[in-house]
Structure formats: C-alpha cells, structure tokens
C-alpha cells in the first residue's frame, strides 16, 4: 500500500498533469461533438466507445509515464519486427473502413476495429529517434541520411501496399521530415528531397488510382468533376456546413445538415465541419486552441529535456499532431485533397484516441525524467581553476 501511495505521489508531482488535462478536455469536447453529429443515427454506441477509449487512454498515459522510453528504444529491432508483422496482418485479414482503405483489423470480442498503422507510428517515432541519436554527431553523413530515408520509405511503401492507406502513410513521411529538420540534418538534403519530389511527381501522379489522381488534380484542372457530384462532392458539402455555421453556429444538436446526416463522415474525417455548423467559427477556434496547446506542450517538454533522443521523440510527436491537424482542417475547408485523416482527440475512433494517449504518455514520461544527454558522461568536468580534471 505504501508503494502504491508513492507511485500516486510521484505521478501527481512529476508527471505532466497539464498535458493530461488538455488531452482529456479535448477528448470530452470531441465526445460531445460526436454525440451531436451522430444523434440522428443513434449516438449511444459512438459515445460509449469513445468514452471507453478515453478511459483506456488515460490508463495507458499513466502506465507509460512510469516507463523510461530509452528502455523501449534500446529494443528498436524488436519494435521494427513487431510493426512489420502487425501492419502486415492487414494484407490477409484487413477490413475496409469508411474511407474504403483496407487498414482495419476486426478482432473478435473487441467492440472496435484496430488500425495497426495508426498505433505503429508511435513506435516509428521511437525507432527513428534512436537511430538518429546513435549517429547524432554524423547525422548528415550520406549513409546515415540514406538509412533514415530508407526506413521511412519502407514504412510508407509497406503501408500503401498492404492497406492502400496513403493518408496514414504520409504521416510517417512528415514525422521523418520534422525529426530530421529539428535533429540537425543539413539543409542541402531537404533541398535535394524537394528536387526529387518535383521530378517524380509528374511521373507518379498519373500512376495513382483514378479517384486519388482526380482528388489531387481537381485543384489544378477545373474540368475534373465540373458539376461537383463526384470527387468534389465531399469538399463542397464540407464548405456548406461551414457556411451554415457562421460566427456562432446553429447550436449543438441543431445543425441543419448535421441533423440530416448529409455527410457520412461527419463524425470522423469531417468532424471539424460539423463543429463549424453547430458551434460556428467560435467553436472552431476553441478546437484549434486546444489542439495547439497540446502541440506546444509537447514541444515545451522536448525543449526542456536534456537528452537528444527524448527531445527528438517529443518533436516527432508534436509534428505528427500538427500534420494531422493541418491536413484535416485543410481538407474540410477545401485547401487539401480528401485523404481520410482524423482530427486528433476530436474525431470518432477508438484506435485514434488510444494512440494519441500513448504518444502523450511517452511525452509525460520524458517530462517525469528529463535525463541529461547521454554524451555528457564523456565530458570531463572542469576544476575550480577552469582546467579539465
């Protein structure tokens, strides 16, 4: 009993309680919005699953707070094998979600489907951070850059091959770019990457499936779906939701299009549009401020950490969140193609909520033990006269 009290005391004095409260508030806000967005089709199941995911997420947050992430990172080879096997199962047993991608596992006795690539992106951050920390003094070495790029390219290609989920696969690429930039990779490599993309894009885009090709090219070619009944349909509906909401919205459970369940994904990928209609621009600002506070908190914990790997992990998690927020909101307002990414903590999805709290638990663990940089033990301390011992 005394040991349990000590753990409780350590958690409330050393864990990142601010981050946990921000995540809980954002998730509860999301549950209320999901309840409203699904009221016309029966919201009990959606609210129950999301609430259960929140409770499980908080438990995982607490558990991971007490785990030293370096212990996990030391076994990065096992993490990599696990990710390959876990994602690879989709090829044989994957089921299609609402977006049409074969990216879900329907496991008997579980009330929700599991999205392996969603969970594995946290392990990818840890694997990449450990890989970078091992060679941090020669990070821009061509061999090291190639190693990181090949790891990222493998995950991207593997996820697309087994599940066709380009949206989640793109998160891995953005995580790599963010971590490499903050980690200290020379700018020349980013310029080289941009050049490669510029050359490859005209070759790759025509090879995409027709619906993916049209979703990208509709921003440049007005002759693609001029009537707005095909690839532009969801984007046009989303913009109508936003226009209906105005400044203050029509009120929860009172949104005209939300009540009519006009858009099938209004509680998942397009939850931001539902919020816009019912809570208006003010509600959207509240959502963005909450999510921005979580991102900033992750960056803050990373900056305060004295350990290179821990710092990069926090930045990678913040980058993951930021990418999903920008793409999801941009998709809802018509700035980006519809690629099926949820809004963190707000959209419906048990896997998404649990994954987010996993990531935040790792950040909280880093906050609890801001370890000094591993390289510091090789630096001899100065004596009182300023000379090395």
- The dihedral of CA 81, 86, 91, 97: what is its sign? negative
Query: Tell me, what's the pLDDT at 200?
Result: 83
Report the alpha-carbon distance of residue 159 to residue 103 in Å, rounded.
9
Please give the average per-residue pLDDT across 146-160, as a whole number: 92
Q: How confident is the model at residue 381, as a pLDDT?
A: 41
Residue 127 lies in a domain: yes
Q: Averaging pLDDT over each range in 18-27, 41-50, 101-110, which range is the top one?
A: 18-27
Domain membership of residue 378 (yes or no) is no
Residue 275 lies in a domain: yes
Q: Rounded distance, CA 23 to CA 37, Å?
A: 21
* Residue 386 resides in a domain: no
Average pLDDT over residues 247-266: 89
Q: Look over the chain and give the mean of its residue pLDDT values, rounded to a whole number.
A: 86
Q: Is the pLDDT of residue 386 over 60?
A: no
Query: What's the domain count of the chain?
Result: 1
Q: What is the pLDDT of residues 94-116, one digit of tens each?
A: 777 655 677 888 777 766 778 89
Q: Which of 80-94, 186-200, 282-296, 332-346 has the highest mean pLDDT?
A: 282-296
- Residue closest to 365 by CA, chosen among 70, 10, 15: 15
**What is the percent of the chain where pLDDT is above 90?**
51
pTM (two decimals): 0.89
Q: What stretches of the chain show up as alpha helix (H) in DSSP? A: 2-14, 17-37, 44-65, 69-73, 76-93, 116-134, 142-163, 166-183, 187-204, 210-217, 233-245, 256-259, 271-304, 308-332, 350-368
pLDDT at 340 (0 to 100): 77
Distance, CA of 273 to CA of 226 (rounded, Å):
23
Q: Which of the two residues, 215 and 198, has the higher pLDDT score?
A: 198
Per-residue model confidence (pLDDT) at position 156 = 92
* Cα(198)–Cα(56) distance, integer angstroms: 43
- pLDDT at 52 exceeding the cut of 90: yes
Is 50 exceeded by the pLDDT of residue 387? no
pLDDT in tens, 132-142: 998 888 888 99
pLDDT at position 349: 86
Q: Give one DSSP letter per residue of 195-263, joined into a string.
A: HHHHHHHHHHGGGS-HHHHHHHHTTT-TTSSTTSSSTTHHHHHHHHHHHHHTTT-S-TT--HHHHTT-S
For residue 3, being part of any structural domain is answered with no
Higher pLDDT, 382 or 183: 183
- As a dihedral over the C-alpha atoms of residue 34, residue 285, residue 333, residue 275, rounded to 10 degrees, the angle is 20
Mean predicted confidence (pLDDT) in 293-319: 93
Q: Which of 285, 307, 277, 303 is nearest to 376 (CA)?
A: 307
Give the pLDDT of residue 372. Answer: 58
Task: Encode pLDDT of 360-384 as tens digits.
Answer: 999 999 999 876 554 443 333 444 4
User: For residue 105, what are the β-bridge partners?
Assistant: 94, 114
Crossing angle of helices 44-65 and 350-368, in 10° steps, is 20
Is position 96 within any domain?
A: yes
Flag the least confident range among 86-90, 217-221, 288-292, 346-350.
217-221
Give domain status of residue 217, yes or no: yes
Residue 313 resides in a domain: yes
For residue 329, the model assigns a pLDDT of: 94
pLDDT reading at 144 higher than 60:
yes
Please check the confidence at residue 357 and state whether its pLDDT lies above 80. Answer: yes
Instruction: Print the domain residue range for 26.
Output: 14-368
In this predicted model, which residue has the larger pLDDT, 207 or 327? Answer: 327
Find the range with the poorest average confidence among 100-109, 226-235, 243-252. Answer: 100-109
Q: How far apart are the first and last CA of the chain?
A: 46
For residue 355, what are its two tokens?
């994954």
């Amino acid at each position: 009993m005394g040991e349990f009290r000590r753990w409780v005391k350590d958690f409330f004095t050393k864990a990142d309680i601010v981050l946990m409260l921000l995540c809980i508030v954002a998730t509860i806000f999301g549950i209320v919005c999901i309840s409203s967005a699904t009221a016309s089709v029966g919201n009990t199941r959606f609210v129950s699953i999301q609430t259960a995911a929140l409770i499980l997420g908080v438990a995982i947050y607490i558990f991971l707070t007490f785990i030293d992430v370096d212990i996990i990172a030391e076994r990065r080879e096992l993490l990599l094998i696990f990710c390959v096997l876990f994602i690879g199962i989709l090829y044989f047993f994957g089921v299609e979600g609402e977006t049409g991608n074969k990216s879900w596992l329907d496991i008997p006795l579980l009330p929700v489907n599991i999205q392996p690539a969603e969970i594995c992106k946290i392990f990818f951050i840890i694997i990449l951070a450990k890989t970078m920390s091992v060679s941090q003094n020669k990070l821009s070495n061509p061999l090291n850059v190639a190693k990181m790029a090949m790891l990222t390219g493998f995950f991207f290609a593997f996820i697309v091959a087994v599940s066709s989920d380009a949206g989640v696969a793109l998160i891995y690429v953005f995580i790599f770019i963010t971590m490499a930039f903050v980690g200290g990779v020379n700018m020349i490599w980013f310029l080289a990457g941009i050049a490669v993309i510029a050359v490859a894009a005209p070759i790759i885009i025509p090879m995409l499936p027709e619906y993916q090709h049209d979703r990208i090219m509709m921003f440049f070619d007005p002759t693609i779906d001029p009537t707005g009944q095909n690839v532009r349909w969801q984007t046009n509906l989303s913009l109508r939701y936003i226009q209906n909401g105005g400044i203050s919205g029509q009120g929860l459970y009172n949104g005209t299009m939300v009540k009519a369940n006009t858009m099938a994904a209004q509680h998942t990928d397009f939850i931001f549009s539902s919020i816009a209609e019912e809570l208006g621009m003010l509600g959207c600002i509240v959502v963005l401020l909450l999510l921005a506070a979580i991102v900033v908190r992750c960056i803050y914990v990373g900056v305060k950490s004295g350990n290179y790997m821990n710092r990069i992990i926090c930045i990678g998690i913040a980058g993951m969140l930021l990418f999903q927020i920008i793409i999801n909101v941009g998709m809802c307002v018509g700035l980006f193609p519809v690629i099926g990414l949820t809004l963190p903590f707000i959209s419906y999805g048990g896997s998404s909520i649990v994954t987010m709290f996993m990531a935040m638990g790792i950040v909280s663990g880093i906050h609890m033990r801001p370890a000094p940089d591993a390289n510091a033990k090789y630096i001899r301390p100065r004596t009182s006269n300023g000379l090395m011992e």
